[in-house]
Structures are given as C-alpha cells and as structure tokens.
Amino acid sequence: MKELFQVLILSPFEIFLFTLFVLIKDFGLAILLFSVILRLLLLPISLLQLIEENKLKKIKKRLDEETKNTKDLIKKAELINNIYKEEKFNPFKNIFFQLLVIPVYLGAVVSILNILKKISNPYFINLMNLAKPNIPLGVIVIALNFYYAFKQPPESRKILFFILGLISIIILTIPSALLLYFLVNLLFVFLERKIFERYLVKPVIQSIKIDNP
C-alpha cells in the first residue's frame, strides 16, 4: 500500500510541485497554484459529496421525527434503514467520497514538506519564510476552521469545536507552507458550498414552490 501511494500520488505530486517552483521561482506561489489545481481536479468529487450531504439534510427532519420515540436500537436501525430506502439515500456514498480524497490531501501535505526540505529559498514573495510557523496566518486558518464548524448542524458543532481546540496549538507551530495549502482548501470549501447552494439548491427549491403553489 505504501509503495502504491508513493507511485500513484506522492511522486507525481512532488514532481509537479517542484516543476511549478522551478518555473515560478517562488515556493509560496507554487503552493498556491498547486493547491488550486488539485481542488479543481477534485471538483467533481466535491460536487457529488455536497449532493449527498444535501440529501441527508432533507431527510434528517423525518429521521428525527420517526425515531425519537423508539428506544429499541434494533428497531431504530430498521426505521432508519427503511427511510434511507424510501428516500433512495445511501449513507456509505458520502463516506466513500470522503475516504476517496484522503490520499490526495495526505499526498499534497507530504509533497509540500518533502520539497520544503530540498530547496534553499522557501519564501513567499520574499516576505514569508515558509519553513517556519507564521502566527497571523495560523490564526486566520484557525478562525476559518471555527467559522466552518459553526456553519455545520448543531449536533456536529461540539465535536468539531473540541477537535479544533485540540489542534489549534499544532496549527500555530507547523510550517507556513502547509498553512498556505490549508488556507486555499478552506476558501475553496466555502466557495464550492456557496456556488452549490446558489445555483443547484435554490433553483430546485424555487421550482418546487412554483409547481406546488
């Protein structure tokens, strides 16, 4: 598995990132371009994941109503399974999409760290040493993560806030090269969700309202 990861993901990513650095001669700009290209390549998977998340949001109210008085875990599981079948929702799809992109994100992080060790001028527009932590950039990344967590359903917020609280110190101590990568990913997540909601979800809702006055 390690060899497969090295051949299929890590080596191509490292070659691509280093090529960008050689062409641009600025490691920060190379990371930004590398991150944007990866997000664009993953856009179809992100869209499918958002579609599955939206399906779950739509049936959550029904799940809560029909299972709230059921204490028997087996019966509750059967009710949930029946609702999933009626709504044609497969919970494993979203899990599959999430697992599918993990090697890509991991490959990107490891590639950035590996290239960082090989170059002597890891700077972003000659101002930021990307081999060192950057507190202001780290604070921005942490703040955006908390904002993202706040936008999640109430039942998910507590665990997300707890995890973010634990890793916030780590974020402030990692090389700022990784912070740039995380920042681009976070901004893309916000942008993708905004576009998805505006151009895919709202038109469907408006269409339903017109058809059912």
Q: How far is the C-alpha of 200 from the C-alpha of 213, rounded, in Å? A: 21
Residue 47: pLDDT over 70 = yes
**Residues 98 and 53 sit within 8 Å (Cβ to Cβ):** no
Residue 212: pLDDT over 70 = no
Residue 85: pLDDT over 90 = no
pTM given for the model: 0.81
pLDDT tens string 177-209: 999 999 999 999 999 888 887 766 544 434 434
Domain layout of the chain by residue ranges: 2-132+175-211
pLDDT tens string 118-132: 998 899 988 899 999
The predicted pLDDT at position 208 comes to: 36
Residue type, 197: E
pLDDT tens string 153-175: 777 788 888 889 889 999 999 99
Helix, strand or coil, per DSSP, at residue 128: strand
Place of tokens 């634990």: 166
